[in-house]
Structure 1
Amino acid sequence: QVLWTFFVWNAAKAYFNFWQLTNREIELANPLPDNITIPSHDYHRGTLLYSVSQRKKSSSIISYFINFYNLFVKKTFEEFPVLKNDSIWNYIFSGVIEADGEVGGLKILKEFRKELRKQNNIEEKEFLLKKIDSFISSVESDGYIPKALFFAIKRFHRWLKLNEEASLNAQAEMLYDLYETYELFDLEEKYPAVRTQFYLGTAFIDSPVEFKNALREIVKKQQDSSIERELIQELISGLHLQFKLSEPEEFFVTRLSFPHLKPTDSAALVTIKSAGGSASNLVVQLLDNDNVPYLIRNPISPKEISRLHQLFFETDLNVHFNPDHQFLVALSERGFIIGGLFFNRVDEQTAHMEKIVVSSRYRRKGISEGLMNELFNRLKGEHFKYVSTGFFRPEYFYRFGFKIEKKYSGLVKDLLNEANKN
């Protein structure tokens, strides 16, 4: 059943693409399963029409859809009754949106609905109208679910049904693997809400309605390209302040808020209270070269920023903090600040790393590497492509992949290429 729906989705997209390329004037006369090849796994790409030689003039949008349904779907149902599925039209409609985008696809479907209402000789007309109404309403209210996302969610639930006692780390590992295998990261530019939708359909599927509605509101905001990613991250991480979350919900909200976290990373969102209200702060625990744990997080008070400034002063580094700067600090087991760095956002694609420092007592323990890598991971999670720095201690920064580049005055690291290599 799963592969059949995947097959229909791909075929609907392929045949629709051909129809669109002819300005909807010509359609294939024989849209049969025998005339198309589709990957055997729902996480693979590559659909190919074997033959486009048998064509006919397309008389209407209704003739196109009904012809595809009768020859591709209905004939298959007749041969393999076990495949019959009352929701199959949803996959046909999804193929149209996958091909033409949400705006264009909905326009086509509304046109189909309008013409269908005028017809009296269409088999199961009322049933089909209900399907179109329901599908359009769902997309307009909750957004379109891209094919790769849909089948990734389906696979997660098939696995969880077989492994009902799966630990949180095991579930996180599965989510991580699915996100990679189905290449969902590649969809984020076109569908900014894909990650939130993924978690909504998997980790939070059984969460309270109020919590899921809050996530759906965030999805709508993500689909509005005028909303900054940083604000979206604040909204997601703020959910643990808005709701009394269960342990699994806390665990997965943290990972949804900060995509760079790996399944086994020891991390948590903590609430920081100040005169301006409450805010969430990601705390990551790492081990130094002596296997002693230390923490990395944002500073929680002006006093901590002052202590970081003092560390720079003690190291004879003359630095000046300004309101645009952001900070990461490293803390010892006892809660003392033992290092940190500061940076600022240059534009939507680039951040500039200013300086990094580690207390002399804690050097050569891998703490500066931990700080740098945590910075890179957080920036990648926010879709930054580059991080630049000055031409000071270049040998140190070369170790992290920084290079000379003609567009930059100092050194620059390409975060995107590194992510692809990994």
Structure 2
Amino acid sequence: MARLVMKFGGTSVADLDRIRNVARHVQREINAGHQVAVVVSAMSGTTNELVGWCREASAFHDAREYDAVVAAGEQVTAGLLAIILQNLEIDARSWLGWQIPILTDGAHGVARITGIDGARLIERLEINQVAVIAGFQGIGPDNRISTLGRGGSDTSAVAIAAAINADRCDIYTDVDGVYTTDPRMVPGARRMARVAFEEMLEMASLGAKVLQVRSVELAMVHNVPMVVRSSFDDPEAIDSSPGATPPGTLICDEEAFMEQQLVTGIAYSKDEAKITLRRVADRPGVAAAIFLPLSQGNVNVDMIVQNISEDGKTTDITFTVPQGDFARARKVIDDQRESGEISCELVSGSEDVVKVSVIGIGMRSHAGVAAQAFNALAEKGINIQLITTSEIKISILIDAAYTELAVRSLHSLYGLDKKQD
């Protein structure tokens, strides 16, 4: 017998028929003898509708009231699933975030979980009652409902799994696992059986939409194994007996891997914009004069490259920001130039760029991985504009027109389109 957390996203609970299908997945695990807590998102499209109503009511609405409105979507789903489970003669009870309680900080709309007391949930699980929990929400220090930001239900599920000492957290979604790259772009992309936490964290932060970044961080900190699997698989066709391997992709600590594959996957992000400052007067504090105001303006800077001139008097600085922050970032730089904080001859920018990343924990112990990538792209006539690296990642910035060619070339280069034994 295992203790499981099962999380179902918006597409998995989009209507009553799909909620009934979710109930069959839960019933399968109960019949196998497992203790089950279920975390649900709002029905597909509901949160967008609730957010739209808040904005229509007032462009400058109170964040506390915003949370009271948008948290309602998950409450509806939790209640409906509990009712359907009860009709299947399964003992089930719905829980809202404040009833557990899931404690958060006071940043309404983007709250972070500060603690969960899992004692009451454990009591109910041990008498074989299914806990159906509204994801995405908790209770803040002001004793009001708080929400965790978009994708927060994944984070709720992992946090609850850690609080109740769950054996596994299953994330049910509309895909059947994590792939070596986007299968819509590369038909040869493969579903991976296992991915290390660090690799998944890189992939999630670099554009893979399967999991929310905060949920992977939390799982890694608390060592909660996760399985990404499809809610559209036939519930009756799956073996959930103790010891059976669940379908999908297991995300776990790298120590569970017998041997590390050199490269695990290729990710890409189209949400990139590039800004370059030419011939900046080089002096102590010049980088701070550029990046501190950007930070204060809530502009997230990613890749940074700085080149010093031969005489050491000027420098060129290039960096990337999310496309949505491009105009704001340009204004911050222009304001710094006008105030005299930055002295440079030219500022240029481009939104027609893409970041492509090679990810794999096997890169730690192998040399030449980057050189192979650069050579492969050169052979395809793809110019590299920026490069950043870490122990398990190489990221390059290229012209957006070459995205598909670059992803396919790198995917083939590292043998990711070949079947694995």
Q: Same fold (TM over 0.5)?
A: no
> Which structure has greater strand proportion?
2
- Answer 1 or 2: higher relative contact order, Cα 8 Å, separation at least 6: 2
What TM-score, normalized by structure 1, do the two folds share? 0.29
TM-score by length of 2: 0.29
